[in-house]
Structure formats: C-alpha cells, structure tokens
C-alpha cells in the first residue's frame, strides 16, 4: 500500500493493529460484494453490527463501551473504511461523529445511558438531520421549529439528504426553539417511530449508491423535554459535530484515492499493449507519479491534523483546509486511475470509477469545496465573504 514517505513507520503498535484489523475487514467483508451493492443501490446491512463489534463507531471517544483510541487511530480507521467505499465510511462517520459525538458531548446522563452503548455496538442506527430543502450550505437559515408545550416540544419541518434516515432508529434533529428568546438552534433526539415522523428514501442517486439517503419529515412530532440535548445551544452544536466528521473525511478520502491508485498501478503492470505492459510508457508513469505524489501530500495533511487534534490545537479552519485539499486529491486521483484502466475502468469490477462517483458527494457534503475555500479565505484575510 502506498506510504511513500513512510508515515506509517511512526504508528504505535495499537494504531497498526487498528489499521490492520480495518484493512482485513474491508478486504474480506466489503470488497467482495461492494460493487453489487453499488449497482443495486443498497447498503450491506449485515456489516452494521459487525462494525460495532469491531469498535468502528466513535473510536476516539471513551466510556459507555466506546473504544477510547487516539485521533490518529480514528483517522486510520476512516481511511481503511473508505478504501472499501465512501458509503461505508459515511455510515461510520454519521454514527460516530454526528450521532454518538453530540450525545456524548452534549447529552444528559440518561440520554448517554440509553443511546451510547446501543449506537456504539451497532444495535441501533442514528442519523443527523441538519440540511433542509431550502438550506444546505447555509444551515443557520433552517426553518424546522420546536415549540414548547406542557408535555415537551412539538417539532415541525423537513430535512433532506440525510444519510441513513430510512434505516435509523433515532435522529439527531437540529431545530429552532421558537419558544425561547432569539429562537436558538437546539438538538433533539427523535425516535423515528414517533407519530408524525416520515423517512422517505431518496432514489436514483448516481453517487454514494452503497449508502442509504433519505428525508426526515416532521409533522407535529411530540418529544418529551428529556429528548433535548441539554448541553448546547446555537449553531456551535451542529458545527462542532461537523468538525469531527470532516476530520474523518480528510482521512477517509485518502483511502479511496489510495485504493484507486493501487488498482491503476497493478493494472498498468499487468495490461499489455504494443508488445509489453502499459506501465513502461512514460505517459503512464507520469500519471502514476502524479497520483502517488498527490496522495502523499494528502496523507501528510491527514497525519498533521491528527497530531493537532490529539494535543487540542486543532482549529476548524485546519479541518476545512484538509477536507478541501484531500477531497480534491481524491477527485483527481480516482479520475486519473479510471483513465489508466481504459474500458475496463468504467465497470464495477474495478474500484476507481465507483470511488470517483462517490467522491462527487464527498466534494459536496460536509461543507462544499466552495464553502471551505471561503472559510480559509476568511481565516487568512479576517474578512468574511459570507455570514
């Protein structure tokens, strides 16, 4: 596996174990069927509890049966999962960073006891409802409301593009508390079997096909006061979750790029044209050298991000830079790798085009490339291009 600057020689024994276990899991349990799932638009549901058993959800958090590993181990895990498929890493990102993390960070003891062991083991599935039909890049414009009454809250609104909503047991829904001064954004744990909740699946995706995506409709949904996340108010709630998930994405996409590169390298050595392997042509070597260099640069950013996060110095702007850069690398590398495979490259027999299609989603979700560009621009200049 490509590790040109030997970054992996710095890994601890524990980190190597995590990486090897995740790599083996992907080789044995994901790769054989993932092309079929991608074609059929299904998620390999049997892997949900298996990933829980292996400690793949929120591996960097502790207590409540969670693994309590370091940040680099978390990153390595996301990298190996996304080498399998971005849909698999999305499952782990949503469950870990967007559902377990907010309950762990902002939940009551009762909420933690009820949900963290079940979510960590994969016995329960969660989803994160922030995006709305009219508010994607600008989630603070959200229209979903929560209104207090004698028994708790009544939620109304709709969320869309929600990973896992059709298969989720619980949704972390972000809504404006219109009963409080200034209508602050608050997080609500909404069990999906409550009256008034609908979770329609979004069909016909051409990207992230091995991942279930849906809507969340909220029509006079009643939740008790105990379902409000008590520890946070305002947009810092959802945004802090996104910083956790984006860290995992900055690592994960390196896995997708590396997997596509490995396929292309092998193919270039195996495929004969004009009396020998295409890998002997300078044009092909140029592509391989460029892909390897780009992946190495992405690996450097990912590893540095983990060091900063581990010592508590990570800023969300650092994450924006790495998410933006590494997804761009994955976008370029998967396309070039597809090219090296010629006609065979457009099938699901090889990984590059599947990764390439998935990366179109990753380029857009968790902050589009444009939005991260503006975050970095604002950090450099001190001038916000958007509010």
When the beta carbons of 142 and 279 are compared against ligand FAD, the nearer one is: 142
d(Cα 300, Cα 231) in Å, to the nearest integer? Answer: 35
SS3 195: coil
Q: Return the number of other C-beta atoms located less than 10 Å from residue 125's C-beta.
A: 25
Q: In the bound complex, what is the minimum distance in angstroms from residue 86's beta carbon to ligand FAD?
A: 9
285 sits near ligand FAD (criterion: CB under 6 A): no
- The answer to whether residue 364 forms part of the interface with ligand FAD (CB under 6 A) is yes
Please give the Cα distance from 114 to 189 (Å, whole number): 11
Closer to ligand FAD at the Cβ: 94 or 118? 94
CB under 6 A: which stretch of 279-287, 323-331, 345-353, 361-369 binds ligand FAD?
361-369
Q: Which of 80, 226, 366, 387 is catalytic?
A: 366
Contacts of 46 (CB under 8 A, 6+ apart): none
- Who contacts 182 (Cβ-Cβ below 8 Å, separation ≥6)? none
| Reduced 3-state DSSP string for 20-79 | HHHHHHHHHHHHHHHHHHHHHCCCCCCHHHHHHHCCCCCCCCEECCEECCCHHHHHHHHH
Beta-strand ranges (E) seen in the chain are 62-63, 66-67, 126-129, 145-149, 152-163, 170-177, 185-191, 197-198, 213-223, 272-273, 276-277
Q: In this structure, are strands 185-191 and 213-223 parallel, antiparallel, or unpaired?
A: unpaired
Query: Which CB atom, from 57 or from 128, has the smaller least distance to ligand FAD?
Result: 128
Among 40, 137, 293, 347, binds ligand FAD (CB under 6 A): 137
* Distance, CA of 251 to CA of 298 (rounded, Å): 8
Q: Can you read off the two tokens belonging to residue 323? A: 């998410």
DSSP 8-state assignment for residue 280: G
Give the residue with the Cβ less far from ligand FAD, 6 or 204: 204
Q: How far is the CB of 171 from ligand FAD (least distance, A)?
A: 10
Residue 245 tokens read as 């998930």
Give the residue, chosen from 73, 81, 278, 371, that forms a contact with ligand FAD under the rule CB under 6 A. 371
Please give the Cα distance from 62 to 85 (Å, whole number): 26
CB of 133 within 8 A of CB of 160?
yes
CB atoms closer than 10 angstroms to residue 91: 27
Using CB under 6 A, which of 128, 153, 251, 267 touches ligand FAD? 128
CB atoms within 10 A of CB 300: 15
* Closer Cβ to ligand FAD, 172 or 257, answer by number: 172
Active site residue 143: no
Contact between 243 and ligand FAD per CB under 6 A: no
Measuring CA to CA, which residue among 226, 264, 195, 274 is closest to residue 107?
Answer: 226
Given a contact cutoff of 8 angstroms between Cβ atoms, the answer to whether 252 and 79 are in contact is yes
Asked if 58 touches ligand FAD (CB under 6 A), the answer is no
Task: Rule CB under 6 A: choose which of 161, 247, 261, 267 binds ligand FAD.
Answer: 161
Query: Please, which residue, 163 or 284, has the CB nearer to ligand FAD?
Result: 163
92 to 111, contacts with ligand FAD by CB under 6 A?
94
Encoded one letter per residue, x for contact with ligand FAD by CB under 6 A and - for no contact, window 212-231 reads -x------------------
162 binds ligand FAD per the rule CB under 6 A: yes
* Options 41, 70, 117, 136; binder of ligand FAD; rule CB under 6 A: 136
Q: Which of 100, 103, 130, 353 binds ligand FAD (CB under 6 A)?
A: 130
Instruction: Select the residue interacting with ligand FAD from 370, 377, 378, 379 (CB under 6 A).
Output: 370
Positions marked catalytic = 366
Binding site for ligand FAD (CB under 6 A): 94, 128-131, 136-137, 161-163, 208, 213, 361, 364-366, 368, 370-371, 374, 386
């Amino acid at each position: 596996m490509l590790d040109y600057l030997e970054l992996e020689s710095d890994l601890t024994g524990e980190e190597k174990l995590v990486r090897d276990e995740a790599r083996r899991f992907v080789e044995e349990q994901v790769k054989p069927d993932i092309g079929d799932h991608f074609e059929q638009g299904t998620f390999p549901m049997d892997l949900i509890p298996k990933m829980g058993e292996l400690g793949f959800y929120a591996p960097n958090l502790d207590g409540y049966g969670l693994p309590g590993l370091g940040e680099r181990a978390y990153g390595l895990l996301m990298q190996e999962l996304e080498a399998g498929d971005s849909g698999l890493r999305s499952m782990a990102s949503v469950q870990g960073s967007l559902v377990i993390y907010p309950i762990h960070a902002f939940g009551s003891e009762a909420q933690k006891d009820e949900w963290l062991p079940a979510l960590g083991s994969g016995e329960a599935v969660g989803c994160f409802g922030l995006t709305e039909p009219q508010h994607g890049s600008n989630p603070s414009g959200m229209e979903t409301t929560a209104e207090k009454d004698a028994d708790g809250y009544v939620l109304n609104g709709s969320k869309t593009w929600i990973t896992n909503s059709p298969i989720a047991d619980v949704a972390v829904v972000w809504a404006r508390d219109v009963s409080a001064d200034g209508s602050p954004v608050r997080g609500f744990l909404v069990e999906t079997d409550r009256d008034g909740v609908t979770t329609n699946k979004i069909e016909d995706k051409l990207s992230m096909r091995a991942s279930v995506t849906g809507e969340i409709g909220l029509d006079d949904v009643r939740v008790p006061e105990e379902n409000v996340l008590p520890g946070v108010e305002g947009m810092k709630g959802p945004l802090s979750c996104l910083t956790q998930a984006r860290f995992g994405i900055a690592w994960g996409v390196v896995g997708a790029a590396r997997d596509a590169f490995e396929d292309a390298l092998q193919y270039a050595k195996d495929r004969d044209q004009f009396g020998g392997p295409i890998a002997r042509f300078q044009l092909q070597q140029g592509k391989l050298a460029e892909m390897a260099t780009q992946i190495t640069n992405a690996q450097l950013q990912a590893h540095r991000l983990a060091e900063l996060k581990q010592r508590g110095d990570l800023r969300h702007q650092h994450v924006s830079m790495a998410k933006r850069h590494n997804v761009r690398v994955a976008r370029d590398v998967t396309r070039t790798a597809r090219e090296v495979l010629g006609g065979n490259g457009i099938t699901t027999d090889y990984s590059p085009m599947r990764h390439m299609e998935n990366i179109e989603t990753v380029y857009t979700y968790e902050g589009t490339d444009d939005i991260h560009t503006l975050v970095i621009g604002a950090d450099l200049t001190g001038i916000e291009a958007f509010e």
